[in-house]
Amino acid sequence: MKLFVTGATGFLGSHFFNLLAEHSDIEIIALRRNIKSIPRIPLIKEPFWLTKQIDQINQNDLIGVDVIVHFAAHSMYPPYDTLDKCLYWNLTAPLQLFNEAIKVGINKFVVAGSCFEYGLSGEEFDFIPVDAPLKPTMTYAASKAASSIVFHQFAIQHQVNLSYHRIFQIFGEGEAPSRLWPSLKNAAIAGQDFAMTEGDQIRDFIPVEEVAQYFINVCLKVDLIPGKPEFFNVGSGRPQSIFEFSEFWWNKWQAKGKLFKGILPYREGEVMRYVPKI
């Protein structure tokens, strides 16, 4: 099997490659934007690197590929880029890649989505079903929600296999330093106090290693039906508050400092509950 993977140097992509090192029968073409792009964690085994922007991919780059695995995402974290740019990099450019792929006979597409596509629906459901209305509240999430609709139509129009997966609160080594888990870890190791919100937001946290293995399983899946796109939520099934999550890891790292609740305000318009129906 030969995979073409976008977002290859990213948080999830790096872990995905390390788990794939156990599969000697899987060949990988890994897309990176430039030669200075460094994987978020050290790789056990280097894939074949293709250095291009996603909108520069042509048919020659895809010859012999069996599965397109699309992890790349533009402007995932604040401050978010403009809606125009998010739509281009999260919808238009990947769709261009997908259209090149079908020209060389590729008929399987595995795509990473985001729980934030659900937006305000998060507070309307105790457990968000995969067919919940998409009500995003930020430009990044809006572009991902739009892409999920377009990719759905793409799969029907071209009668190909599409497996789309909305990931909930993924965390672990290699995560962006500004995110909660690495920020907590850095403060704990340094013996510093950690200021946070009240932490009443309810989330479904899932380790990145579990998500990476999940996507490997999807790539190996053989019972997809052409023209019938599949959509799934990816989570742990263990909802908890952000404070509960923070307290667990703070104690696990035996932090000497203190967690200070309520020091920081909630983000404006923050959705307080994102919990998937698995």
Which pLDDT score is estimated for 107? 97
Q: What is the pTM of this model?
A: 0.96
Class of domain 180-202+238-274: alpha beta
Distance of alpha carbon 172 from alpha carbon 206, whole angstroms: 9
pLDDT score for 49:
97
Name which of 43-47, 87-91, 167-171, 200-204 the model is least confident about.
43-47
Quick one: which of 169, 143, 151 has its CA closest to 234? Answer: 169
Q: Which residues contact 156 (CB under 8 A, 6 or more apart)?
A: 227, 229
The whole-number pLDDT of residue 145 equals 98
The rounded distance, in Å, linking the Cα atoms of 79 and 171 is 19
- Choose which CATH entry (3.20.20.450, 1.10.150.120, 1.10.3720.10, 3.40.50.720) describes domain 2-171+205-234: 3.40.50.720
Q: What is the pLDDT of residue 258?
A: 97
From the number of C-beta atoms within 10 Å of its C-beta (0-12, 13-18, 19+), residue 126 rates as exposed
Tell me how far apart the 2 most distant CA atoms of the chain are, in Å.
58
DSSP string, 120-165: GGGGT-SSB-TTS--B--SHHHHHHHHHHHHHHHHHHHHT-EEEEE
Q: What is the pLDDT of residues 124-156, one digit of tens each?
A: 999 999 999 999 999 999 999 999 999 999 999
How high is the pLDDT of residue 86?
A: 98
In the DSSP assignment, the letter for residue 238 is: -
CA distance 170 to 173: 10
Is it true that 2-171+205-234 and 180-202+238-274 share their CATH fold?
A: no
Instruction: Give me the pLDDT at residue 159, please.
Output: 98
Domain extents in the chain: 2-171+205-234, 180-202+238-274
- Please count the CA atoms within 13 angstroms of the CA of 222 that sit on its side-chain side: 1
